[in-house]
Amino acid sequence: MGKLPMICPISRMTERTMPGRRSFLATTAGLVLLPLRGFGRAVAYRPVILKGDYTRDSTHERQARARDEGCIGVVDFHFNSTGDPTVSGGEIYYQEGVTASRHFAEVMWRRFEAIGLPPHGNQPLRSTATNPRTIFINHYAMPAILLESLFLSNPEQAAWLHVGGHLGSLADAIAAGIRDEFPGGGTIGLSPGHAYKTSTPGDKGAKCREGDSEAEHTVALVGLVEQRLK
């Protein structure tokens, strides 16, 4: 009883502002149904694993496949390596001069940071113009980024990758970065670096300190990201 006086003024106010009770009910029903309609619509991704050659000078098999499949974005998977075992950290390359690619790289790096991956140097976001090995992603017709998540030549980082669950955490982060950048879903190209090359099928990429190879890690990681996007 004590709460009635509070309800009455609100309902009177509603009657005054609404043209009639029927439209008030219709509006109320609409307000309830509107979020439900959005809630029921699932966002769908179609991951496509890109295979074949991807050399730096022009459009090759992977770029052509990404275009033919209607990819809205491409992630190229690599791991870094160098002769100095103390060098470590991650970096993400974006297509020189492509704002959407740079944005994708920024969004993805935030996900890398969230799982504790350190940057290589003080600037983990790099244009392909800074590294000739990465310019092949410029030949993708859609925003593409190239991940160098860590150094396989660094004993601590290689060991980290081999701890159970860490490859899965990295896959979670990458899938989340893709969802962040493309919230409406769509076809996403996943390119495992050094694996499935037509011209050099034996290419394994860099050696990992733990005894396996870059190509083995890129294939495994792409598989996990593919599962998470389906």
Binding residues (CB under 5 A) for Zn ion: these are: 208, 210, 212
The residue at minimum Cβ distance from Zn ion is 208
CB of 200 to Zn ion, least distance (A): 20
CB of 173 to Zn ion, least distance (A): 18
What's the half-sphere exposure (Cβ side, CA atoms, 13 Å) at 146? 25
Judged by beta carbon, residue 156 or residue 210, the one nearer Zn ion is 210
Three-class DSSP category at 30: helix
Hey, what are 49's tokens?
A: 């694993």
Neighbouring residues of 159: CB distance < 8 A, sequence distance ≥ 6: 209, 210
Whole-angstrom Cα Rg for the chain: 24
Query: How far apart are the C-alpha atoms of 36 and 18, rounded to whole Å?
Result: 24
CB of 204 to Zn ion, least distance (A): 11
Structural contact between residues 49 and 222, judged by C-beta atoms closer than 8 angstroms: yes
CB of 128 to Zn ion, least distance (A): 26
Query: How far apart are the C-alpha atoms of 126 and 124, rounded to whole Å?
Result: 6
Hey, what are 72's tokens?
A: 């809205």
Judged by beta carbon, residue 212 or residue 226, the one nearer Zn ion is 212
Judged by beta carbon, residue 149 or residue 187, the one nearer Zn ion is 149
Taking alpha carbons only, the member of 162, 158, 129, 121 closest to residue 146 is 129
CB of 228 to Zn ion, least distance (A): 21
Judged by beta carbon, residue 15 or residue 210, the one nearer Zn ion is 210
Query: How far apart are the C-alpha atoms of 71 and 184, rounded to whole Å?
Result: 13
Judged by beta carbon, residue 48 or residue 150, the one nearer Zn ion is 150
Judged by beta carbon, residue 88 or residue 128, the one nearer Zn ion is 88
CB of 35 to Zn ion, least distance (A): 46
Which stretches of the chain are DSSP H helices? 4-17, 21-40, 61-69, 99-114, 155-162, 166-181, 214-229
Residues linked to residue 127 through DSSP beta bridges, in sequence order? 94
